[in-house]
Chain A
Amino acid sequence: MVSWPTIIKDKQTRASANAPDFDALRESFTWDDARQLLDGLPGGGLNIAHEALDRHLADGHGDQVAIRWLGRDGSRRDITYGELASDASRFANALAAQGIGRGARLYSLLGRVPRLYAAALGALKAGLTFSPLFAAFGPEPIKARMEIGEGNVLVTTAALYRKKVAAWRRDVPSLKLVLIVDDDDVPDGCLALEPLMAAASDQFEIAKTGAEDMALIHFTSGTTGRPKGAVHVHGAVVSHAATGRYALDLKPGDIYWCTADPGWVTGTSYGIIAPLVNRVTMIVDEAEFDLERWYGILESERVQVWYTAPTAIRMLMRGGKEAASRFDFSNLRFLASVGEPLNPEAVVWGNEVFGRPFHDNWWQTETGGIMIANTAAMDIRPGSMGKPLPGVQAGIVERDDKGLRDCAPGEIGELALRPGWPSMMRAYLNEKARYDKCFVDGWYLSGDLAMQDKDGYFWFVGRADDLIKSSGHLIGPFEVESALIEHDAVAEAAVIGIPDETAGEVVKAYVALNPGFEPSVDLERDIRGHARKKLGAAVAPREIIFRKALPKTRSGKIMRRLLKARELGLPEGDISTLESDEK
């Protein structure tokens, strides 16, 4: 299995890591110790915004740059910890002036703009729950998430509002306030944020939240049913502090660039909270991926710690080593990757091009923070996700009649975790049964198949279910199928992920048509266009295949697994429940 040579860390690299002796730290670590990395609220309690901002001001770091924002147009803006704390307070006061306070839920639907950070932290400061939405989602995923989470406030742009929200606004009565960050031409029923901010005080008394109070909702997809809202609490910040330090090797004052979109959990946990709590300077680039722009940012901003994703790394690789050779990456100290397993070629390529290997790590929306990682002092086995972090107990298990059985080293099973770390989800919103199903015999079951080698490294194998991982986004086939069958021509739909060398997987759909419709190139495009409008490009199928009928079980369930096996030329497995086959 281990065909790639291990990347051995030298003495100096080991010694300068935040966790120079990883095994010793794992032995001695307790989450109570990790709480000492934080201050807590004066007078008791815990609030993410206090740990991310206010305490640094009290310690005299108000003038340090918190966000170095790079505009799409080439502009550049520094926001200090002091300014960001003031903006967060103004935002909290602006909400209060509109009668919005503790317990309300605020959603963001924004790209990487400065106001996003003030809104997220201001909401947390005011004791609201913050939930980020992916701005590339189409109207349907946005509406579904707003309904499930019963959002009260939305912060967005005029263009995104008109395109993705206005049409269904009235169907979601919980949504009381829509704040528009770009204030020219504010749509009806919305308020411009800037005048409210300008009129608000920059002093706000932070909500006295406790460690178990709800702070964040991150939505994730299921194989069946609607998206699930994973609930995280203010206490999660203990995990963010510790994992930022040990998994990403963040040191105060570092220049750090997390390329993840703020609409997903990585962009919040490691694009807002962990870096600010660890008092680094974050690079925030408004623009989308561009090869030369990215290399240029690494060089000119002197990035030291870089957290990115396999799809982006593979796109850099497509550009070739020569494209990178003109740039100076000598400031880079630590490179990490998450979103889907990083192939060994990419780990080694990083070592050749940047002089540092990529450190893959593993976690999920539900875990709230990094669980298994290749850390700075650890030798890397390319292709492995690394070892469980201090405070994390992971195992490989198999479900059988009696419950769970531990798998031996080298045996493939489901990756499981012992609950108890601070950023573990506390619930799926209003879905107790689905939440309870994640836990068996005192383990949290991740749904990922993996194996552990005899030296304790974990290796990803695949998903245990039908979920699709495309460009790091977890996509639920059910949500895509639901949008497809809303098209007049579509009677049935089945959606699978097929391997792709850049995106990991891409979404492919099989559809059976209603009477009166015939397969054609135009119809394929029409259905795909429909799905893209509803779902957004990241979620919609890239390809649609017509079938007369789809393979189904006796109970009428479409067998996605069988379609996938046939697509990939794999054994069909157990088809005893197959009632009617595809045609």
Chain B
Amino acid sequence: MKPEEIRLVFLEELTRVAPDIDAADVGADDDLMEDLEIDSMDFLNLVTALHKRLGIDVPEADYHSLATVALASKYLAARLS
């Protein structure tokens, strides 16, 4: 997958878990928890959704790598390659 596709997939799953968020308003460096008010249950649901969609199992120790869209896109790209 291209980096842009990965970013869009991540945004899509994020806004599915948290439909109060408008993908167009999300900044690349917005912190999911601090800025977008994703809570820990949302986060677990997001990890589950990413697993289903991309087949990537994100271990707890890597959760901070999903803290922003920019970080998550980079992390997921590395895991997919």
A residues adjacent to B (C-beta < 8 A): 72, 136, 287-293, 311, 315, 318-320, 323, 470-471, 500, 502-503, 506, 525-526, 528-530, 532-533, 536-538, 542
Contact = CB atoms under 8 A, between A and B. Distances in A.
Contact of A311 (B15, B38, B40): B40
Nearest to B61: A323
A485 B15 CA distance: 22
Nearest to B22: A529
A532 B39 contact: no
B30 interface: no
Interface stretch (B3-11, B41-49, B73-81): B41-49
Contacts of A287: 34
B34 A72 contact: yes
B18 A532 contact: yes
Given A72-B34, A542-B45, A289 B19 contact: no
A563 B61 CA distance: 38
Interface of B: 15-16, 18-21, 33-34, 37-42, 44-45, 59-61, 63-64
A544 B3 CA distance: 32
B64 A292 contact: yes
Nearest to B21: A529
A136 B40 CA distance: 12
A537 B39 contact: yes
18 contacts: A136-B37, A136-B39, A288-B34, A289-B40, A291-B63, A315-B44, A315-B60, A318-B60, A319-B59, A320-B60, A323-B60, A323-B61, A471-B41, A503-B41, A525-B15, A529-B19, A529-B21, A537-B18
B18 to A, nearest CB: 6
Given A72-B34, A526-B19, A538 B39 contact: yes
A506 B44 CA distance: 13
A289 B34 CA distance: 11
Nearest to A535: B20
Given A537-B42, A542-B41, A288 B20 contact: no
Given A319-B61, A502-B44, 17 more contacts: A72-B34, A136-B37, A288-B40, A289-B40, A291-B60, A291-B61, A292-B61, A315-B44, A318-B60, A471-B40, A471-B41, A525-B16, A528-B20, A529-B18, A529-B21, A532-B19, A533-B20
A525 B23 CA distance: 13
Nearest to A527: B19
Contacts of A293: 64
B19 A319 contact: no
A530 B18 CA distance: 10
Closest 8 interchain pairs by CB? A529-B19, A319-B60, A532-B20, A525-B19, A529-B20, A537-B39, A533-B20, A288-B33
Contacts of A529: 18-21
A537 B63 contact: no
A532 B15 CA distance: 12
Nearest to B40: A289
A393 B19 CA distance: 47
Contacts of B64: 290, 292-293
Contacts of B33: 288
A536 B38 CA distance: 9
A371 B38 CA distance: 33
Contact of A537 (B34, B38, B44, B61): B38
A489 to B, nearest CB: 14
B17 to A, nearest CB: 9
A528 B64 CA distance: 26
A533 B25 CA distance: 15
B70 to A, nearest CB: 17
Contacts of B40: 288-289, 311, 315, 471
Contacts of B44: 315, 502
A536 B37 CA distance: 8
Contacts of B34: 72, 287-288
A536 B34 CA distance: 13
B19 A502 contact: no
Contacts of A537: 18, 20, 37-39, 41-42
B33 to A, nearest CB: 5
Nearest to B60: A319
Contacts of B20: 528-530, 532-533, 537
Given A136-B39, A537-B37, A538-B39, A290 B63 contact: yes
Contacts of B38: 537
Nearest to A470: B41
A194 B42 CA distance: 35
A537 B42 CA distance: 8
Contacts of A526: 19
B40 to A, nearest CB: 5
Interface centre among B34, B59, B60 (most CB of A within 10 A): B60
Nearest to A317: B60
